[in-house]
Amino acid sequence: MSRSTMPKEISSSTQPPLLKGSAALSEQRSARWRPGLAAEGAEVRHSEVFASGHEASGTAAALALALDQWRGEETRRKSDPLAEHDDQRAILWVQDRAAIKANGRPYRPGLPEELRHRIIHVVTEKPEDALFALEEGVRCRDLIFVIGEIAGNPRALDFTASRRLSLAAERHGVPLWLVRFDAGHDLSSARMRWDVRSAPSPAPQWNAAAPGAPSLHAELFRARTHPPGQWILRDDGHSLTAIRPQIATRNRTITADNDEHSEPQDLSAYSVDLARPTVGRSLAAL
């Protein structure tokens, strides 16, 4: 009997389906996160944002990331000639009392214009009730996305509860962005977990006395499909931009060294349209 010989290389067309799937998953996991991934069909249905309760950076980041994902889905939906072109769905916003005490309520005039008339606001006395409202929200396909705000590490938000939220959000296709104020990194099944804090704004282009564009330092410390990384996030009302912290620091240093008539080096990365009110602890600093 003659011994069979194995081919030296196996082409992609002849790879078993399991190997093809493994290669695709490996390639996806090695790709860095960037804005606009939802337009490529890479949506994440359950994310957590950790932030201090003394600033609105956590909620602002959750809103900016949720809007970026929604815009990507809108781009894909409008490219479908059979899809409805008028999206009138609402947004569910759930807060427990501790989160309201730490960071205040949503301030509609400070929200992005396309969201102001869509908010369904729910206030709960306890985290258990907030988790119930969040799970009911992600089961409703008539919602664009759900935002939750919970303070600390309540016992009710254990891994089992987190797993229930992940499964419900992925089964029904409704994204959940859960903001955790003053909380530790406990066990969770969230697909993406962020640490967020406020960041120095870039110098304005025309008026040196004006505040700069709101900026957020976001660190992706755990993700199912992307390696960890850090970015400076800015939302100009139309799109989300993300640049590496080293580039943002270098541009700010160059601008400070120039005279008052000079322009920032990376004008394409942010806008100076700051016509948004900020009142107290509102969410206007998006």
143-183, pLDDT tens digit by residue?
999 999 999 999 999 999 999 999 999 999 999 999 999 99
Give one DSSP letter per residue of 89-119, joined into a string: -EEEEEEEHHHHHHH----GGGS-GGGTTTE
Condensed to tens digits (0 to 9), the pLDDT of residues 107-117 reads 988 888 888 89
Rounded to whole angstroms, the Cα distance separating 72 from 142 reads 18
What pLDDT score was predicted for residue 23? 60
Average pLDDT of each block of 10 consecutive residues along the chain (286 residues)?
A: 45 54 60 83 90 91 93 81 77 95 89 89 96 97 95 95 96 96 94 94 81 90 90 89 77 52 41 35 36
Q: Is 156 helix (H, G, I), strand (E, B) or coil?
A: coil
Q: How far apart are CA 218 and CA 144, in angstroms?
A: 23
Torsion from C-alpha of 93, 120, 234, 210, nearest 10 degrees? -110
Task: Record the tokens describing residue 142, joined without a space.
Answer: 């008539």
pTM: 0.75
